[in-house]
């Protein structure tokens, strides 16, 4: 595959083949759907949130190797984070994808392996799909909280 080593490295393919967090939660705190208008991929993301901390993440849906691997990595990276921390990590990942920040492995975990995707603008949207869904889920949760309060 020559020049595609950045895109299809072992760690990414490992997450693609053995997706972390694939499946559904019994009664998720918040659930959102996200689609990639570019390729028609549609994903469903569920979060459990306890005392302002993301405790569980599950996802279903279809996507290419990059979007599925990224979703799997996101599931690992955000579990255990407070909502503010999680949003901060999502933003950091977004900046890394746009080539504006150097990836920080402490925050991104395995998702650091996706840093090279920034060189493929068309695939950046694939990599961001799950992360944008997570951001959407947290914002939806907070909005709904305000409405109840």
Partner 1 sequence: MSTAAAPIDVTALRADFPILSRTVHGAPLVYLDSAATSQKPVAVLDAMDAYYRETNANVHRGVYELAAEATARYEGGRDAVARMVGAPRESVVLTKNASEAINLVAWAWGIRTLKAGDEILVTEMEHHSNIVPWQIVAGITGAVVRFVPVTPGGELDMDAFAALLTERTRMVGVVHVSNVLGTINPVAEITRMAHAVGALVLVDGSQSVPHMPVDVPSIGCDFFAFTGHKMLGPTGIGVLVGRREVLESMEPFLGGGEMISNVTQQGSTWADLPWKFEAGTPPIAEAIGLGAAADYLTAVGLDAVRAHEVELTAHMLDALAQVDGITIFGPRDAAVRGGAVSFSLPDLHPHDIAQLIDQEGVCVRAGHHCAKPLMRVLGVGATARASTYLYNSAEEIDVFVRALGNARLALK
- Within 10 angstroms of residue 43's Cβ, the number of other Cβ atoms is 21
Minimal distance in Å, beta carbon 118 to partner 1? 15
- Are 108 and 93 in contact, with CB atoms under 8 Å apart? yes
| Secondary structure E strands in the chain | 30-36, 41-50, 53-61
Total residues binding partner 1 (CB under 8 A): 21
| Secondary structure E strands in 1-147 | 30-36, 41-50, 53-61
Beta-bridge partner residues of 58:
46
Binding mask 11-40 for partner 1 (x = CB under 8 A): --x--x---------------------xxx
Rg (CA), the chain: 15
Minimal distance in Å, beta carbon 126 to partner 1? 6
66 binds partner 1 (CB under 8 A): yes
Piece of 46-54, 61-69, 89-97, 104-112 that binds partner 1 (CB under 8 A): 61-69
Of residues 81 through 140, those in contact with partner 1 by CB under 8 A are: 120, 123, 126
- Are 126 and 39 in contact, with CB atoms under 8 Å apart? yes
Piece of 59-67, 73-81, 99-107, 132-140 that binds partner 1 (CB under 8 A): 59-67
Piece of 24-32, 56-64, 74-82, 85-93 that binds partner 1 (CB under 8 A): 56-64
Closest by Cα among 129, 23, 18, 20 to 66: 129
Residue numbers at the binding site for partner 1 (CB under 8 A):
1-4, 7-8, 13, 16, 38-42, 62-66, 120, 123, 126
């Amino acid at each position: 595959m020559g020049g595609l080593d950045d895109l299809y490295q072992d760690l990414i393919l490992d997450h693609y083949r053995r997706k972390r967090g694939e499946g559904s939660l019994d009664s998720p705190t918040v659930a959102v759907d996200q689609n990639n208008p570019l390729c028609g991929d549609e994903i469903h993301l569920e979060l459990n949130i306890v005392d302002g901390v993301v405790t569980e993440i599950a996802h279903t849906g279809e996507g290419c190797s990059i979007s599925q691997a990224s979703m799997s990595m996101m599931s690992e990276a955000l579990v255990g984070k407070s909502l503010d921390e999680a949003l901060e990590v999502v933003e950091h990942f977004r900046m890394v994808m746009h080539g504006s920040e150097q990836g920080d492995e402490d925050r991104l975990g395995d998702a650091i392996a996706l840093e090279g995707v920034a060189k493929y603008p068309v695939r950046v949207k694939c990599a961001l799909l799950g992360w944008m869904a997570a951001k959407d889920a947290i914002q939806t949760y907070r909005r709904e909280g305000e409405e109840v309060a």
